[in-house]
Structure 1
């Protein structure tokens, strides 16, 4: 399936049903199809052909997301651009991915103006709202360029659907090539792994996280079911809680850092969350202590584990597996990443390519039609990620005797202190068990005595204070003195990416 086929499938079961809702305005499936068709026609008018790369730079916006379906309809390849990247990084992504057209929101016009002179390959610039000035087309003029009648539906070469930028170990972005087959596998696994409404009812998905990332691809199974996407333009936890009962939301996704904010919000316990069937969490490890709290106060939590190169569904832990048959919380599974999904083979490998037995720690590797086709124009990185015939996730973990997958850490985040391996995730989970801590990050910094010392940066709960000495003693009681931080810093907030991940690189940079 192409990306646009998910929209068309939803329209086939109800063209007049709500497709996108934002700020109280609702667009039907038929309306979004018309917009997508016009975008496809206009792109063809401006020279876009099957396989052309078209980028979208926008926050959460229904028009920008409708453009994605138009890109697909024209047989072009969608390149989502993270608006929180620095201008230089976005310039490099647009250049390296051979983008020919950029559709962008006016909020990012200054960024676009800075990079435009260095991108001669982009022949068409379209501002989706407001007056773009002389160097770009307005949305109205671009849409007016649509060919008369329907554009001939096209498919890109090699089933390529999108190219997603991801930073490598050198910091230079790599282009993850995701195919229609990758997205179809992800969609099938989502629909078979998690609860969805029975026939006749339709899901309602609340998108607070960026549509350029996980929140966007999780829309595809909802659209295929004829569901409604409620789009939040800006992240606001209070508004998020108000929208759930207002729209009878059934599904949503947040990374752990934003879930911690939900748990700290004063309106949570008074909010009617009875419509929720599936509250997905992922993108980073979640504290088992906070997860148990979320199960009691929010309800049907559902874990997913994946990465850009194998989107979302490497392993899952659906809502019912978070509890035992008697209804009590299954604390023994809360620190796991769930179980490998039916269409993914998961193994654990040492550095020499030997698959390790149950319980032993090594790099998590996978085989599946979920895995990307490779990095765009980067055969060396593709070969490195697929050595020994398996896709290498870069995560350290193990499988237990019951088949649960446990992620110990990112390989690059492991700290070697005094000759011992310390996994930052384990230390973070111990810190997050303290009731005065809202969020934290653990890093390793050079140390003359230890080689590396364990350093924690913590964000207190609203209205609370954290005593570093008391917190150090608290952690030592749980995981011992070797793993306990040698240094604890208290910050009012932590640097986060657009999807809510704590940016450890920024934290390390702050220490010089």
Structure 2
């Protein structure tokens, strides 16, 4: 297979006039993208970036995120995307971990880097030589440097075996840097693009934050010289505007985004007829929301289950599965779908033996398109990779038709009053309440129960519900011992860069409260 850089060159040569990347007020053709990534490659080399050197990108989604990735692939730099919503100490810790030569930062997030610099956090040890380049305006240093290299001959490419480091969202602990081999990552994106039916006429609406693994969505256009239309910082109204104006065809959303589209006052007056496929993923979507969305848009729906360590998707619930779920088997709408053709899946007990069909155990996966290990963390490799299998930490069961049902993260299993309770079942019950927008269920220490089931809920705009009302609502849907003992209403539930709910952050919040009370 051609490399990322070779595909960019090919697209610019043969389909140079086609849209490559589009924003609300900017548009880049494949010829533009080829020339600018070449120029940026020259810039990187002049800044001392060599093969295997890390290049950090700190930005919300924009054209420059694609450009910096393309240039990195051409010169053999290892791209590292960081979530711009992280706090300065968190950014600094990850920068220290990957030790980059250059940091490209959008002007909106420059204060984060500037703060770290001023207090000396980026000027110690191996980080003292970092070059910081700001972008986000026509007069930025980034644009000045690229403009100075636009007349250079076609760049001689020097790809590296490693494409990027993707830091996990840290939903169960501190982020780890997953190392993505160039060809395996490219192959993973290709497989997913084919399964989704991407073709030269596709106009992909890109909404998933591309700091880590969702970069694969942004670059899915590369195989057929298709177009990626970038929403940027999420706004349902802006997404709907771009769907209509740009005649977009495909999208993948996290549940929060899909809910905001369904609630938007602009939905009814927006022409969404160009859309061919709606995808969703990152965290579970309650079956009632799936049904509502399918009715609202009248288009095929596709669920994706992604795994950072597999560099992409490992399971899908295809449009035909959704139709089957609506027609005959409603329970499969609560599944993660089936393992993809290039993924091997097993469910193991605590002794590492395969469980019987229908029994719950840990989901383990294997593929030719999996990461090669964690950056600077060989001890973590041994925990996750065993005999070639990726141990996901997800508790799951397989049915006789091959659908995978996720119970929850093994680390989030709640042991209450002698019972094992998986939060997903409780979350799905609460999510059926018409006022509930999002929900996260955790276990908190309790003298009587060992752990008590606690729910954090955010409500839909304009809706009201009390904790007592929500608890009563659950009683008819799940066993009494699974009903949350306590519920809190939060304005928003914390999420990571991919839109995945951060239960670790919620647990830390309550741990801090307990510590404060104890003192």
Determine if the alignment matches structure 1 residue 397 to structure 2 residue 420.
no
**Residue 194 of structure 1, CA deviation:** 2.1
Counterpart of 1:24 in 2: which secondary structure? coil
Q: Name 2:135's counterpart in structure 1.
A: 128
**Residue 388 of structure 1, CA deviation:** 4.0
Q: Does the CA contact (< 8 Å) of 1:444 and 1:455 recur in 2?
A: yes
**Residue 94 of structure 1, CA deviation:** 1.4
Q: Name 1:447's counterpart in structure 2.
A: 446
Counterpart of 2:268 in 1: which secondary structure? helix
Q: Name 2:81's counterpart in structure 1.
A: 80
**Residue 433 of structure 1, CA deviation:** 0.8
**Residue 63 of structure 1, CA deviation:** 2.3
User: Any idea what the Cα deviations from partners look like across 1:289-312, whole Å, max 9, x if unmatched?
Assistant: 111111111222111112211133
Structure 1 CA distance, aligned partners of 2:358 and 2:134?
A: 53
Question: What is the 5 A alignment of 1:72-221?
Answer: 72-116=73-117, 117-119=120-122, 120-129=127-136, 138-141=142-145, 143-144=147-148, 148-156=152-160, 159-166=161-168, 171-197=173-199, 201-221=200-220
Counterpart of 1:343 in 2: which secondary structure? coil
| Residues 145 and 243 of structure 1: CA distance in aligned 2, closer, same or farther (over 3 Å) | closer
Structure 2 CA distance, aligned partners of 1:213 and 1:276?
A: 26
Counterpart of 2:144 in 1: which secondary structure? helix
Structure 1 unaligned blocks of 5 or more = none
Q: Name 1:317's counterpart in structure 2.
A: 317
**Residue 167 of structure 1, CA deviation:** 5.4
Determine if the alignment matches structure 1 residue 43 to structure 2 residue 50.
no
Q: Larger deviation: 213-222 or 166-175?
A: 166-175
TM-score relative to the length of structure 1: 0.92
Q: Does the CA contact (< 8 Å) of 1:353 and 1:388 recur in 2?
A: no
Q: Larger deviation: 416-425 or 349-358?
A: 349-358
Structure 1 CA distance, aligned partners of 2:133 and 2:25?
A: 26
| Residues 348 and 147 of structure 1: CA distance in aligned 2, closer, same or farther (over 3 Å) | farther
**Residue 455 of structure 1, CA deviation:** 0.7
Counterpart of 1:334 in 2: which secondary structure? helix
Q: Does the CA contact (< 8 Å) of 1:322 and 1:329 recur in 2?
A: no
User: Any idea what the Cα deviations from partners look like across 1:155-201, whole Å, max 9, x if unmatched?
Assistant: 11xx210001125588443210011233233223213322334xxx5
| Residues 94 and 145 of structure 1: CA distance in aligned 2, closer, same or farther (over 3 Å) | farther
Structure 1 CA distance, aligned partners of 2:365 and 2:424?
A: 21
Determine if the alignment matches structure 1 residue 387 to structure 2 residue 386.
yes
**Residue 336 of structure 1, CA deviation:** 0.7
| Residues 177 and 454 of structure 1: CA distance in aligned 2, closer, same or farther (over 3 Å) | same
C-alpha RMSD over aligned residues = 2.3
User: Any idea what the Cα deviations from partners look like across 1:46-100, whole Å, max 9, x if unmatched?
Assistant: 2211111111111111123212101111111111111111111111111211211
Q: Does the CA contact (< 8 Å) of 1:181 and 1:369 recur in 2?
A: no
Q: Name 2:307's counterpart in structure 1.
A: 307
Structure 2 unaligned blocks of 5 or more = 514-519
TM-score relative to the length of structure 2: 0.91
Q: Does the CA contact (< 8 Å) of 1:9 and 1:223 recur in 2?
A: no
Q: Name 2:516's counterpart in structure 1.
A: none
**Residue 475 of structure 1, CA deviation:** 0.8
Q: Larger deviation: 268-277 or 330-339?
A: 268-277
User: Any idea what the Cα deviations from partners look like across 1:13-48, whole Å, max 9, x if unmatched?
Assistant: 511101111123211000011110011111111221
Structure 2 CA distance, aligned partners of 1:203 and 1:210?
A: 20
